[in-house]
Amino acid sequence: MTESWKRAKHIGRMLLGRQPAGRHLTVYPDDVFLTSYPRSGNAWTRFLVGNLIYSEPVTFANVEDRLPEIYLHSNRELLRLSRPRVLKSHEYFDPRYRKIIYIVRDPRDVMVSMYHYSMKRGEVPDKYPIEEFVRLGLAGEFFEDWATWEEHVNSWRATRSTRSVFLFLRYEDMLADPERELEKVAEFMNIDPTPERLARAVKFSGADHMRNLEKQQSRQWKLTKKTRQDIPFVREARSGGWKDQLSEAAVESIEQAWGATMRQLGYHLASRSMEAMQQTTVI
């Protein structure tokens, strides 16, 4: 497909109101955005928040009706939703966003998850070298619409982290104690965080439960229906998986690029050169 044809198709969709909203979304002051860099736990957070809000459990078949992703729906569609809207976004800093729940994840695990998801989407072939994927990812050449992991995270931390309308969550803390972290979300959204309500939301958002739903509903969900069905969207749902899948050289390249931000966020640096640098800094 030529670039001129792509542009014509894009303009045609915009005129028909079918172009995904994305960064052209009409933003209301009472919108709540679930925001993260891709593959940082946003889907799981959507389930947690949705199951906190709604009495009927969230599934892949209904999540887009309740907490839609701004890249799967046109602005016209999203304007029809009742307010306040809860929307999924991967945008870097946007000054129009007034209330943000931001999820961050260890970038080494993000790289591994992005690698498998890109394969699921058919963007990289089987057996594509993960080291090459990491190299391109560090340069922002995958998911290029959202810059690099560090640029994305810091765009929000630098502009919103001290404000009461910004809730910062670490994926690893959510894994360790989901009810505690979800209680923060409930208070942020002015929802009564009763123990029963929190426990129910966590139950219906568990990784095993989501995997079972995916097996049944993958072709019903806009995000995955046209992707490879032999590669799951919900994978291990754990932290530290990078230790088994990334070479020492790949880990070192990530830590050299983003180590300062990783340390600020509480992520231990594992490569020998970075450990030595940390020790030198302490001395």
- For the stretch 75-134, pLDDT in tens is 999 999 999 999 999 999 999 999 999 999 999 999 999 999 999 999 999 999 999 999
Look at residue 173 and tell me whether its pLDDT is greater than 50: yes
Q: What is the pLDDT of residues 207-236, one digit of tens each?
A: 999 999 999 999 999 999 999 999 999 998
**Residue ranges of domains in the chain:** 18-282
Q: With cut-offs at 50, 70 and 90, classify the pLDDT of residue 271.
A: confident
The mean predicted confidence, pLDDT, of the chain is 91
Crossing angle of helices 248-264/272-282, nearest 10°?
A: 30
Report yes or no: 275 and 269 within 8 Å, Cβ to Cβ. yes
Question: How many angstroms separate the Cα of 121 from the Cα of each of 30, 45, 106, 223, 228?
Answer: 33, 21, 22, 10, 6
Sort 191 into a burial class: Cβ within 10 Å, 0-12 / 13-18 / 19+: middle
Q: With cut-offs at 50, 70 and 90, classify the pLDDT of residue 12.
A: very low
Q: Please state the rounded mean pLDDT for residues 263-283.
A: 72
Domain 18-282 sits in CATH at 3.40.50.300
Crossing angle of helices 42-53/207-217, nearest 10°?
A: 100
Who wins on pLDDT, 17 or 260? Answer: 260
Report yes or no: 272 and 278 within 8 Å, Cβ to Cβ. no
In whole angstroms, what is the distance from residue 178 CA to residue 173 CA? 7
Look at residue 281 and tell me whether its pLDDT is greater than 70: no
What SS3 state is found at 111? helix
In whole angstroms, what is the distance from residue 186 CA to residue 172 CA? 19
226: enclosing H helix or E strand? none
Q: What is the pTM of this model?
A: 0.89
% of the chain with per-residue pLDDT over 90: 84
Q: What pLDDT is stored for residue 275 in this prediction?
A: 56
Who wins on pLDDT, 8 or 281? Answer: 281
Q: Please state the rounded mean pLDDT for residues 165-182.
A: 98
Who wins on pLDDT, 171 or 281? Answer: 171
Nearest residue to 88 via CA among 67, 72, 106, 104: 67
Q: With cut-offs at 50, 70 and 90, classify the pLDDT of residue 191.
A: very high
Residue partners of 69: CB distance under 8 A and separation at least 6:
87, 88, 89, 222, 223
Look at residue 246 and tell me whether its pLDDT is greater than 70: yes
Look at residue 8 and tell me whether its pLDDT is greater than 70: no
Q: What is the pLDDT of residues 17-49, one digit of tens each?
A: 579 999 999 999 999 999 999 999 999 999 999
Q: Give me the DSSP letters along 9-51.
A: HHHHHHHHT-SB-GGG----TT-EEEEESTTSSHHHHHHHHHH
Q: What is the pLDDT of residues 52-62, one digit of tens each?
A: 999 999 999 99
Q: What pLDDT is stored for residue 278 in this prediction?
A: 55
Strand partners, 88: 34, 69
Sheet containing 166-170: give its strands across: 86-89, 32-36, 100-104, 166-170
% of the chain with per-residue pLDDT over 70: 90
